[in-house]
Amino acid sequence: MATGLSSQFLESLTLGQTILLFIFFIVASFVVDFTWQPRYPKSLPRLGSEDGYLGTIKNWFQYVTRFNNWVAEGTEKYGKHGRAFVVPAAPARPDEIVVPRSQTAWFLEQPDRVLSTKESHRDSLFNDYQFFGLDDQFPIQTIHKHLARNIISLLPTIQEEIHSAIEATLANVTEEEWTSINLWEFFLGIIPRITNAVLVGAPLCRDGEFLKNQVAFADDVVRNSFILMMVPSIFHPIVGPLVCLSNRLHWRKSYAVAKPFIKKRLDDMMKPENSDYKPPEDMLTWLIRQAKSDGLVAELNPVMLSKRLLPVEFAAIHTTVITAHSLLLDLLSSDPSQNCLAIIREETSRVFREENGNWTKRGLTSLHRTDSAIKESMRLSNFATALTHRKVIAPDGITNTVEGWHAPYGASLMLDLGNTHHDENLYPDPDKYDAFRFSRVREDYQASGGNRDPEEAIRIMRLGMVTTSDSFLPFSHGRHACPGRFFVAHELKMILAFLLDNFELRPLKERPKSFWLGGTIIPPVQIETEIRRRKK
């Protein structure tokens, strides 16, 4: 009977009625999403429209182009005066409480059982669909435990891969003629290979099919995260598996190449008779070693190990390519009077000779001007409005002890990166790329013979790009700061050193513009420049 009535109803619908019904269903879905979101106290000032359901829908549409502006406006009105504020988010995400810089300590001191980084990552990257239900905690813990202790011994491997990757990518560049190259494609040609030298080692890190699919997977995550943010949560069980079919496809293709390498490494490390076997020090080895140490039998198979690499591949490839690309754009478009490229070339080539052609931690650490140029680019050319997010997972929520407002379970809190980096009270002339902003302070301090103030000495020591603070947030801050930042620092310095010592690049007349899509920047990937080999 019910089936018959349903059939009669569907058959009686006109095209116009069907369209109206579809629109009603979509609107109802957004309304349901709105009712599911956590409610914030009215004492918190808000940006965007506040006109109930209609205002919320308007905010969702404007999120794509206005989010970064909302945060900037809120920081100017409230954040700089020590007040938190709320900005609208995408339809499938709760509105964001932007915590002012003055409350950074309170924000970061909250235990993980109250404010969770893991759950924030899981929600914003839609792990259930994009990473097959796996979170990034096991690989992150493994990196924390093993990368720092092995990074020095890995420097020769990283150096060799950087030199080899750049030469392979620029094989057609000669001394006689200028050759046009796309900077984005250039970094996509070298960063994944260098990254995988540390993740899986040679020869897999040089396999074109493997690298192509790992890059494609990283692109899938970025694209699909945005799509799922804009789709009501009620549709995610349907839309999620569909849009993330590409993730599964690219993982399967990369796994088909990697499987024999992973299986052999696993077999060699698991055989009792191989007690004297010394595996290569890379992420794959560390994952196996950590799983054995923790008795995690489920982790010790090729499929799981390949999936555990995925969040690291995504984070390392995506962010490093954008950072390196922005760095070169900033350098090539910098004030010619600063003579940035020549100064960095002089420093890197001089120290490289002093190191007898083999980079060491001491040599890389002594590249103060190069370090400053990279850090300044990361400060100025931030690629995200915020990189430090937390989700409230305490059942009773959390009460802010400074202002007294209460955030319920499920609320999302963040630190404003972009406007902190462009605050004239922290960085004079903040919208200018001043490559040696940080090294100049160090050089002035050393030229004066230093002083006996221990606090000043500590401040000078903390000027390096790997030192996080409440005013420098590209690697986040606190106990959840990026564990791979030391590798990234060494990697970018070595890339810049080899590139500038062996090639000349034409400057750009002006810095190409990027544009914002929600809380993420879209870099000018079409930009090309000319390059030729340097005559030694």
Integer CA distances (angstroms), 523 to 64, 69, 246, in order: 16, 18, 23
The DSSP secondary-structure symbol of 46 reads B
Closest residue by Cα to residue 64 from 227, 202, 207: 227
Closest residue by Cα to residue 375 from 475, 460, 459: 475
Distance CA 280, CA 290 (A): 15
The angle, 0 to 180 degrees and rounded to 10, between the axes of the packed helices 454-461 and 437-447 is 140
For the chain, how are helix, strand and coil distributed in percent, rounded to 5? 60, 10, 30
Integer CA distances (angstroms), 401 to 31, 182, 343, in order: 33, 50, 48
The DSSP secondary-structure symbol of 235 reads G
407 in helix, strand or coil? strand
482 annotated among ligand-binding-site residues: yes
Measured in whole angstroms, the distance separating CA 122 from the mean position of its chain's CA atoms is 14
Which residue matches tokens 């954040």?
79
- What sections of 207-273 are H helices per DSSP? 208-229, 236-243, 245-270
Which helix (H) or strand (E) segment holds residue 96: the answer is strand 96-99
Distance CA 155, CA 293 (A): 26
Beta strands in 373-502 (DSSP E): 388-392, 398-399, 406-407, 412-415
Closest residue by Cα to residue 390 from 118, 5, 3: 118
Distance CA 498, CA 478 (A): 33
Sign of the Cα pseudo-torsion (51, 56, 58, 62, in order): positive
Inter-residue long-range contacts of 180-183, CB under 8 Å, 24+ positions, other chains counted: 180/528, 180/529, 180/530, 180/531, 181/528, 181/529, 181/530, 181/531, 182/525, 182/526, 182/527, 182/528, 183/325, 183/328, 183/329, 183/527, 183/528, 183/529
429 in helix, strand or coil? coil
The angle, 0 to 180 degrees and rounded to 10, between the axes of the packed helices 302-332 and 485-502 is 50
Cβ–Cβ < 8 Å for 142, 283: yes
Binding site, annotated residues for heme: 482
Binding site, annotated residues: 482
